[in-house]
């Protein structure tokens, strides 16, 4: 195998992994899973004298047929997801002309319940920042808004300073597909954002100009990766032992609303889901909680 062939196969993969890290802030373990899946596929392709960017649908199907008898459905599903995501990236970057994974189907898996936090754990997390410090006050405002509104982390960090009204208690959000929606944030989050705007944001910017609501000392907007590390740090300070990410707070927002009687359609609108079936998984979370309450408190539970 020539050095040119090796460069052909490894370079797109390396660039793809860098892209995942920069764009999505994925953990080291997740990135390693992507790399392992794709490297193993690449090594098998070499036996067919084909590189990753030359593979077609038949190659993918043959490889999956070899892997399927020896792997769990969840492992195959992850492998298919890795392959699909790699080729979608290659197509978008004009590395390939056609996506060979387009017709490849994943094995059907039982739908897993989203990880969430109970209300006390959320309170502990929201109380972790030091509000006497400008950075801590910013972080407090971000956490409060995230939990109060159920925003995606990308939506949170992209909010402009003119897109939030603390007086009306709403924030204008641009979500997936560039769809804009107005989301209520409640009095508590509105109060913390007002305090951040008055006392912390000018101190952090130090006369720099920025259109972003949540800013860093460099005068730039907070990034998804930076906020991901930030929330991990506050989870440790709060003594939370379970895995925490910005998305977990979004799940907590939806679950707690349903636990307190919110209508599913309302939760769908607040989350910005285009299809209510995406929102319905949260009803399973609420239902499990109701079952536990019934078993504890009902005389025939």
Q: Which residues are catalytic?
A: 152, 176, 247, 250, 273, 282
Angle between helix 264-271 and 281-297 (nearest 10): 130
Q: Are 49 and 2 in contact (CB under 8 A)?
A: no
| 168-177 b/e (C-beta count within 10 Å ≥ 16 → b) | ebbbebbbee
Burial of 167 (0-12, 13-18, 19+ CB in 10 A): exposed
E-only strand ranges, the chain: 164-165, 170-174, 180-184
Taking residue 24's Cβ as centre, other Cβ atoms within 10 Å add up to 14
CA distances from 122 to 42, 49, 76, 254, 262 (A): 43, 53, 35, 13, 19
Closest CA to 60 of 2, 97, 30, 103: 103
Q: Is the dihedral of CA 122, 135, 212, 153 positive or negative?
A: negative
Q: CB–CB of 139/230 below 8 Å?
A: yes
């Amino acid at each position: 195998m020539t050095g040119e062939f090796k460069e052909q196969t490894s370079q797109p993969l390396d660039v793809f992994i860098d892209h995942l890290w920069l764009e999505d802030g994925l953990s080291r373990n997740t990135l390693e899973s992507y790399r392992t899946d794709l490297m193993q596929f690449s090594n098998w392709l070499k036996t067919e004298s084909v590189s990753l960017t030359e593979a077609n649908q038949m190659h993918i199907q043959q490889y999956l047929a070899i892997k399927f008898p020896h792997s769990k459905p969840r492992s195959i599903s992850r492998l298919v997801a890795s392959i699909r995501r790699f080729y979608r990236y290659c197509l978008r970057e004009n590395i390939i002309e056609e996506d060979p994974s387009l017709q490849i189907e994943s094995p059907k898996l039982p739908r897993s319940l989203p990880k969430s936090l109970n209300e006390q754990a959320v309170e502990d997390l929201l109380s972790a920042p030091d509000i006497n410090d400008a950075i801590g006050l910013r972080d407090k405002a971000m956490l409060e808004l995230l939990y109060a509104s159920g925003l995606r982390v990308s939506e949170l960090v992209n909010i402009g300073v003119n897109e939030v009204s603390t007086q009306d208690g709403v924030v204008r959000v641009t979500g997936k597909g560039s769809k804009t929606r107005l989301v209520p944030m409640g009095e508590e989050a509105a109060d913390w954002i007002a305090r951040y705007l008055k006392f912390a944001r000018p101190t952090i910017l130090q006369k720099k100009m920025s259109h972003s609501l949540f800013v860093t000392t460099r005068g730039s907007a907070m990034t998804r990766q930076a906020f991901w590390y930030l929330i991990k740090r506050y989870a440790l300070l709060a003594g939370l032992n379970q895995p925490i990410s910005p998305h977990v707070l979004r799940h907590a927002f939806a679950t707690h609303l349903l636990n307190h009687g919110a209508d599913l359609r309302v939760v769908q609108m607040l989350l910005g889901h285009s299809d209510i079936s995406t929102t319905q998984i949260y009803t399973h979370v609420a239902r499990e909680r109701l079952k536990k309450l019934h078993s504890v408190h009902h005389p025939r539970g």
